[in-house]
């Protein structure tokens, strides 16, 4: 009798934490492993290899990795050949400690080294690679081939040189590197041939993109303008931006390019100039508000979202009120908000922390205000005509679900609708987290 395990493909389970770049990296790691005989599974229990693609941004996110690894112990005990890998930003920041604390881990691979994953998996004994290699990992990854859903991420820039006082990203992702424009355009064209109609360009500091183009260095606006020329690519988005890198041409692109969707995530973190300075953000609240005015002048219907940190060391009631005032002045369509989390190795971690209850109170107040603004923005969509790109069938028979131009989740009753179709709809109702709409003819 032959043993089917010799010929059957091995199964890879990946759990992704953190930001969209990790989602993109997980896809690329799955492709790299796919070229080496692994297929992905949704079920850790049947996996031959489990890979945790981790996030180090806040303490809770990082600690979760250790508790998840603990839960894998019985699985690995029941399946001796099983490999366990830790990738991503915790791997970068705490690689050696992971191997020490968690002997069940077979390999640790940082965000800039994961093209080496297949050879590390094949090797004996615990493996670690957290270098920032000089060569580009993208040169060593397999071509992307399979057909895929209508939306895709595309990393154009990685790393950050801004060193905000609270943030680990410059340490876990390294300094800013932009990928060459020709490579990105080729990758975007290839994604379109495989069914993609919307691409979100990714970077830790995406609007700081400065990649080699055919006639010199291109900024993000030039890259977007070229991508808008790709036939079949209907929608473009980009994230995450820094306020200091929103240049005039990028703002103008929001008015010029119909493919560039009217949604912008532009983290401000605080509305207090004192705190912004302590955070090393290098912009003021006023600078941010003027910027928003210019962006809205270019694209009046743009929906804005942001990130906020409450309880940064030294934040007074007055500072917090300044943040609330900024939120009231802008009117956001969405936002992410977090309690400050001291991260080892960052300058802010040296400073005394505020009491936890005070941070909780402030976070609740800020989130209540954001929720009000989000509901108002959703309610304001009712009656309007927007585009929706269908991403999957809904829970009800005949229902399709997709994202609007403004990135709202939209449900449409459309029994003949197909995944990947870009349709015009009229919004008929707003629920707390989504919109309902009817399809318009044509």
Binding residues for [4Fe-4S] cluster: 19, 55, 89, 160, 164, 167
Could you give the CA distance from residue 316 to residue 55 in angstroms, rounded to a whole number?
A: 29
For residue 363, give the 3-state DSSP assignment: helix
Which residues 21-80 are close enough to bind ligand SAH by CB under 6 A? 57-58
Binds ligand F3S (CB under 6 A): choice among 26, 40, 151, 172: 172
Could you give the CA distance from residue 38 to residue 409 in angstroms, rounded to a whole number?
A: 33
| DSSP calls for 280-349 | T----HHHHHHHHHHHHHH-TT-EEEEEEEES-TT--HHHHHHHHHHHHHH--SEEEEEE----TTSGGG
Which residues 225-264 are close enough to bind ligand SF4 by CB under 6 A? 242
Q: Which does 163 bind (CB under 5 to 8 A by kind): ligand SAH, ligand SF4, ligand F3S, none?
A: ligand SF4
Per CB under 6 A, 267 contacts ligand SAH: yes
Q: Which does 22 bind (CB under 5 to 8 A by kind): ligand F3S, ligand SAH, ligand SF4, none?
A: ligand F3S
Per CB under 6 A, 160 contacts ligand SF4: yes
Determine phi and psi for 3, rounding to 5 degrees.
-90, 115
Could you give the CA distance from residue 240 to residue 408 in angstroms, rounded to a whole number?
A: 18
- Look at the alpha carbons of 200, 201, 203, 206 in this order and tell me if their dihedral is positive or negative: negative
* DSSP-assigned letter for residue 46: G
Q: Is residue 315 within 8 Å of residue 272, measured between CB atoms?
A: yes
Containing 207, the helix (H) or strand (E) segment is none
Per-residue burial over 232-251, b if 16 or more Cβ lie within 10 Å, else e, is ebbbbbbbbbbbbbbeeebb
Toward ligand SAH, which CB reaches closer, 40 or 346?
Answer: 346
Per CB under 6 A, 269 contacts ligand SAH: yes
Per CB under 6 A, 51 contacts ligand F3S: no
* DSSP-assigned letter for residue 395: S
Alpha-helix runs per DSSP H in 35-123: 59-78, 88-101, 117-122
Toward ligand SAH, which CB reaches closer, 87 or 169?
Answer: 169
Q: Is residue 203 within 8 Å of residue 240, measured between CB atoms?
A: yes
Toward ligand F3S, which CB reaches closer, 325 or 336?
Answer: 336
- Taking residues 345 to 384 in sequence order and writing x for each that binds ligand F3S by CB under 6 A, - otherwise, the string is ----------------------------------------
Cβ 160 to ligand SF4, closest distance in Å? 3
Per CB under 6 A, 88 contacts ligand SF4: no
Per CB under 6 A, 222 contacts ligand F3S: no
Q: Which residues pair with 439 in a beta bridge?
A: 425
Residue 287: alpha-carbon gap to chain centroid: 25
Which residues 197-216 are close enough to bind ligand F3S by CB under 6 A? 204
Toward ligand SAH, which CB reaches closer, 57 or 82?
Answer: 57
Could you give the CA distance from residue 229 to residue 377 in angstroms, rounded to a whole number?
A: 31
Residue nearest to ligand SAH (CB): 307
Binding segment for ligand F3S (CB under 6 A), chosen from 49-57, 146-154, 276-284, 418-426, is 49-57
Both tokens assigned to 417: 């609708």
Q: Is residue 204 within 8 Å of residue 182, measured between CB atoms?
A: no
Cβ 131 to ligand SAH, closest distance in Å? 22
**Count of residues engaged in binding ligand SAH, rule: CB under 6 A:** 17
Toward ligand F3S, which CB reaches closer, 19 or 50?
Answer: 19
Determine phi and psi for 35, rounding to 5 degrees.
-65, -15
Binding segment for ligand SF4 (CB under 6 A), chosen from 21-29, 41-49, 161-169, 337-345, is 161-169
Binding segment for ligand F3S (CB under 6 A), chosen from 64-72, 168-176, 258-266, 306-314, is 168-176
Binding site for ligand SAH (CB under 6 A): 57-58, 166-167, 169, 204-205, 240, 242, 267, 269, 307, 309, 338, 340-341, 343
Task: By CB under 6 A, name the binding residues for ligand SF4.
Answer: 160, 162-164, 167, 169-170, 204-205, 242
Name the site residues for ligand F3S (rule: CB under 6 A): 18-19, 21-22, 55-57, 88-89, 168-169, 172-173, 204
């Amino acid at each position: 009798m032959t043993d089917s395990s010799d010929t059957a493909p091995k199964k890879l389970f990946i759990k992704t934490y953190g930001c969209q770049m990790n989602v993109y990296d997980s896809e690329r790691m799955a492709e790299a492993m796919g070229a080496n005989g692994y297929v992905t599974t949704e079920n850790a229990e049947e996996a031959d290899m489990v890979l945790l693609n981790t996030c180090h941004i806040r303490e809770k996110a990082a600690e979760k990795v250790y508790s998840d690894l603990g839960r894998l112990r019985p699985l690995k005990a029941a399946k001796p050949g099983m490999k366990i890998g830790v990738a991503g930003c915790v791997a970068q920041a705490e690689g050696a400690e992971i191997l020490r604390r968690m002997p069940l881990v077979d390999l640790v691979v940082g965000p800039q080294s994961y093209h080496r994953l297949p050879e590390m998996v094949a090797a004996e004994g615990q493996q670690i690679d957290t270098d920032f290699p000089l060569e580009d990992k993208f040169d060593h990854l397999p071509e992307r081939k399979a057909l895929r859903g209508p939306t895709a991420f595309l990393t154009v820039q990685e790393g950050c040189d801004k060193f905000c006082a609270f943030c680990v990203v410059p340490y876990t992702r390294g300094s800013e590197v932009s990928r060459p424009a020709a490579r990105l355009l080729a990758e975007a064209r290839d994604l379109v041939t495989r069914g993609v109609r919307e691409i979100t360009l990714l970077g830790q500091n995406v609007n700081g993109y400065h990649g080699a183009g055919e006639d010199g260095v291109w900024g993000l606006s030039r890259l977007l303008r070229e991508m808008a020329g790709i036939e079949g690519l209907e929608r473009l988005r980009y994230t995450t931006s820094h306020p200091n890198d929103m240049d005039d041409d990028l703002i103008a692109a929001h008015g010029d390019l119909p493919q560039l969707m009217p949604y912008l995530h532009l983290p401000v973190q605080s509305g207090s100039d004192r705190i912004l300075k302590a955070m090393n953000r290098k912009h003021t609240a006023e600078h941010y508000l003027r910027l928003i005015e210019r962006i809205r002048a270019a694209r009046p219907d743009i929906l804005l979202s942001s990130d906020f940190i409450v309880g940064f060391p030294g934040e007074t009631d007055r500072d917090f009120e300044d943040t609330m005032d900024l939120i009231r002045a802008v009117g956001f369509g969405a936002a992410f908000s977090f309690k400050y989390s001291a991260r080892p190795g960052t300058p802010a971690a040296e400073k005394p922390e505020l009491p936890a209850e005070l941070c909780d109170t402030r976070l609740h107040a800020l989130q209540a205000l954001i929720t009000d603004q989000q509901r108002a923005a959703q309610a304001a969509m009712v009656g309007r005509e927007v585009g929706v790109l269908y991403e999957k069938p809904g829970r009800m028979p005949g229902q399709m679900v997709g994202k609007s131009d403004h990135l709202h989740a939209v449900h449409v009753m459309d029994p003949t609708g197909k995944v990947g179709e870009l349709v015009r709809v009229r919004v008929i109702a707003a629920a707390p987290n989504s919109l309902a709409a009817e399809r318009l003819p044509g």
